[in-house]
A and B are shown apart, each in its own frame.
Chain A
């Protein structure tokens, strides 16, 4: 299948890719460093522009997510229920915390095995002078044990000081996204909770996904007015935080990552959404192996890149939006089966592919 496309049109493939499925990848906010977490129990740090593997961290279980703290350290969440801080320079990591079971004693043993995954995490740096709680960077993790937790990565001594708060969720957390002080939490059961980080005691808004199927990914608009949410059924919903009628009238959902074959649609999960840091347009990646770039404001598709060998597991734009990292990696949607090898492609992004086209005004 992959033979049909020339590597050039896919972008530059990184050497030393992970040996198993890629769970996530993220560009640094300061450089072209790329952090990649994988099911092969590793987190890898690449210099994307130089195509060099700079560091590798092995974990006790598959790594489900990772993110940067700064260019010298990052965080990872692994299937062995631990959140680790990774120090890139020393190749060392220390365990930030173990997810704790909220259940009674009798279930704890089992919970430790199955329940307590930290699943996705993001990092937040806040400098609200007026809110003493958020003067420092916080790490937020969502877990399949139906909790959201905030960690203070500085408190190295003891869990009590590291763990800032635990917030129960209606279902297992599947995706998180943050913009400004708003945190969007998407869980199983199509729940969407929107938090104000300054008051985490309860969600600012509780919503139900406007899509009918399991939520796959949620990402906030860079301008902070709303979020995009994708489902396993080839659809993306564009939502707005503002509850006024005028704002809510703007929300919509669209189909994508579908294949028409003999007049029928075949629908693929949309695994990844990545917003362009400059133009606010966004790329989606699906199990069909395509990466599409959309202009959410004008409701137009701007570009479709040529097909990748297998499912798109994750996407990330670099800080200036000139590079797009594409994880082409089978996401286990059909269970265990032979599939193309996992690969990371770094592609240059042309302005024309991501810049919103001005609306064509009707001739006066």
Chain B
């Protein structure tokens, strides 16, 4: 049974043979003729051939299909490889060594599958990158150029992918830089807003709603950035404007403060305004420094100060004016500026003139008047004296006319005394007038203007007075003559009748015109006192010094013969006297260098040298002083500009030999070791000499030690 199965062809042949045999048997039975039999056999052969051909054709077609498929596969593979930019793995050399077509096909298929898979993966990558690029470029450039992600199937090479990645990366960098830029802008904007006191949220919402969100999804489009930039620009301009305004305000504020001496506490509140006065734009970062409210507040303060100033100014101007008037009154000058000031005050009130300007003007006037007053002072004093004398004169005349003047009433002795004085004074008047005239003439010559007294020319006053006096003199002479005549008559009468009549009342003496000198005399009554009271500027200081020197004297007297302690106490006395004390002389160990006080100093020298126990020492000290003075001189010479630095430096720096060689061995100023500084001072004040300049300047211990001397 196994045989037919194992060899079907044989079986089939057997079957064909047996069938032919069976046919021959049948034909034999039927008795078919030979031709029929041949025809039948031919037909059979034809049919068989037909079947064969059909099968072969079919097989042939199959083979062609298979080849086609392989070729297709290879082509596709090649296309994919080329698209992906890879070398084709498979070449046509398979014809020789590869097996059957089917094997070949079977081998190529998985490759193709593999490549296809890779290709689709690659494509997906491309699409992904494309999409990302799209998204980012849309974010950056806006939605207008949206292109659906189409991947070019022909070129899927890694290089292209790389390119795309680079593009993407570039875009990402661009985006992040833009994001950063936006953040920066936002930060700038925020700081600007805070400085300007604006609502940051609102402003950025207007620019782009996404900016308000805190996470990084901010819009980065050109448009947004542009808008941000514009917004910043605008705010910066606003800031600059406001800053300008604030700085203007601060400037005027400072001026006002200076002008009105505003207390520090009041200034403190606006310290943060004024501190920005010179700041540049980027330096102003404090919150709300430039907000509308703040500027308004500053503005209010400035206008308050302004108001204060104008009111104060008016006050000040008026005060100054009264001062001016006062001075004029005291110096009997006619204040010619009154009307101008009046006008100025009105002008200030109406705001047409700067009060500071007016103030300055008045101050200049005051200075001028003061200066003039100073030059007039001497003459004015004389005028006062003269006028006083004139008053006395007229009083005396009045008094002389009083017949009852010798009646002893209350205070008569006082009047008598006054009259006595007045007579003496009146005698001096001509000399006074002469002196005054020459002084005035000299003054007028020097100044080239008339000396006026309350607007009246002093010389004419004097002249008038002289004329009057002359007149009076004449009258008096006439009177005297008359009296003489009367006397004679009386004498004659007496001779006749022997009785002496009471002295007759002088008839012709009219109440002579008062020694009036224009309006001055009457005014004098009220003003004279003021003039006298003018404080002498020096008197107080002088008396103080005098008093103190007295004290110093006292102290010294007390300790006159007490050696060392006297020295210190005397020095104290000097201290008290307010004299600048040079405690230590420049030369080491030299004991001198108290600056002689202007007046009180001299008396000390003899006293100190008299100190009994120390006579010798004092003498030696004197010598020492002279020497040290010389030394000082030489050193100050060394200090002159053209000495060589090295020379002086040697003196300064040399530690061991700080004392110049010329110095004598330092004499311990006092035997006691303790009471150091005081005793240094006591040597008698040396005569003023060349070293004066050096001695006039105080020096600290350190300066002395370094030999530091001012030129």
Please give the residue numbers on chain A whose beta carbons come within 8 Å of chain B beta carbons, in ascending order: 1, 20-21, 23, 39-40, 61-62, 64, 79, 106-107, 109-110, 112-115, 117, 119, 130-132, 144, 172, 174, 188-189, 198-199, 204, 212-214, 216, 232-233, 243-244, 259, 261-262, 264-269, 287-288, 311, 331-337
Shortest CB distance A66–B (Å): 14
Is the beta-carbon distance between B578 and A188 smaller than 8 angstroms? no
Interface string of B687-704 (1 = CB under 8 A from A): 000000000011111111
19 sampled A-B residue pairs with Cβ under 8 A: A21-B705, A107-B711, A110-B711, A113-B649, A114-B707, A114-B709, A144-B703, A259-B675, A261-B675, A264-B568, A264-B569, A266-B677, A332-B701, A333-B583, A335-B588, A335-B590, A336-B588, A337-B589, A337-B668
Among the interface residues A113, A212, A244, which one has the most CB atoms of the partner chain B within 10 A?
A113
Contact B711 A334 (CB under 8 A): no
List, in ascending order, chain B residues with CB within 8 A of A264's CB: 559, 565, 568-569, 572
A1-B673, A79-B652, A233-B575 as given contacts; A333 in contact with B701, CB under 8 Å: yes
- Asked if A335 meets B655 with Cβ closer than 8 Å, knowing A114-B639, A262-B565, A265-B572, the reply is no
Q: Which residues of B contact A1 (CB under 8 A)?
A: 673
Nearest CB in chain A: distance from B237 CB, A: 23
Dominant secondary structure of chain A at its interface with chain B: loop
B589 pairs with A189, CB closer than 8 A:
no
Check A333–B676 contact: CB distance below 8 A. Answer: yes
The smallest beta-carbon distance between A314 and chain B, in angstroms, is 12
**Total inter-chain residue pairs, C-beta < 8 Å:** 141
In the complex, chain B residues whose CB is within 8 Å of the CB of A212? 575, 578
Q: Is B408 among interface residues, defined by CB-CB distance under 8 A?
A: no
Mark B residues whose CB is within 8 Å of A.
263-264, 272, 275, 279, 283, 286, 559, 565, 568-569, 572, 575, 578, 581, 583-585, 587-590, 639-643, 645, 648-649, 652-653, 655, 658-659, 666, 668-669, 673-678, 680, 697-711
**5 residue pairs, one from A and one from B, having the closest CB atoms:** A336-B588, A335-B588, A266-B675, A332-B705, A335-B589
Interface SS of chain B? loop
The answer for the CA separation of A262 and B565 in the assembled complex, in Å, is 9
Question: Beyond A1-B673, A334-B584, is A267–B678 a contact (Cβ under 8 Å)?
Answer: yes
Query: Please, which residues of chain B bring their CB within 8 A of the CB of A336?
Result: 588-589, 658-659, 666
Q: Is the CB of B676 within 8 A of A113?
A: no
Q: Which residue of A lies closest to B646 (CB)?
A: A113
With A130-B272, A267-B677, A268-B676 known as contacts, the answer to whether A113 contacts B648 (CB < 8 A) is: yes
Contact A64-B668, Cβ < 8 Å, known A106-B641, A107-B711, A114-B708? no
Chain B nearest CB, measured from A61 CB (Å): 6
The 8 Å CB contact of A334, one of B680, B706, B710, is: B680
Choice from B581, B655, B676, B699 contacting A213 with Cβ under 8 Å: B581
Contact yes or no, A113 B589, CB < 8 A: no
Q: A243–B589 contact, CB under 8 A?
A: no
- Cβ-defined contact, A214 with B708, below 8 A: no
Within 8 Å CB of A216, what residues of B? 700
B645-A109 in contact (CB<8A): yes
Q: Are the CB atoms of A117 and B708 closer together than 8 Å? A: yes
Which one of A264, A311, A333 has the greatest number of beta carbons of chain B within 10 Å? A264
Smallest beta-carbon distance A313→chain B, Å: 10
Q: A107-B711, A259-B675, A266-B675 are in contact. Are A335 and B700 (CB under 8 A)?
A: no
Known A-B contacts A117-B708, A332-B704; A214 and B565 likewise in contact (beta carbons under 8 Å): no
Is A287 a contact partner of B677 (Cβ separation < 8 A)? yes
Beyond known contacts A264-B568, A266-B674: 4 more, CB 8 A cutoff: A1-B673, A79-B706, A115-B708, A267-B568
Report yes or no: A333 in contact with B584, Cβ–Cβ below 8 A: yes
Report Cα–Cα, A37/B264, bound state, in Å: 38
Chain A min CB distance to B194 (Å): 14
- Output the nearest chain A residue to B655 by Cβ-Cβ distance: A20
A79-B653 Cα distance, complex, nearest whole Å: 9
Contact status B674-A259, CB under 8 Å? yes
Pairwise interchain contact B702-A23, C-beta atoms closer than 8 A = yes
A20 contact set on B, CB distance < 8 A? 655
Q: Taking CB as reference atom, which chain A residue is nearest B645? A: A113
A335 CA / B698 CA spacing, docked (Å): 15
Most buried by B among A204, A216, A267: A267
Residues of B within 8 A of A288 (CB): 674, 676
Bound: A65/B702 CA distance, A: 11
Q: How far is the CB of B699 from chain A (nearest CB, A)?
A: 8
Inter-chain contacts of B705 with A (CB < 8 A): 21, 39, 332
**A76–chain B nearest beta-carbon distance, Å:** 15
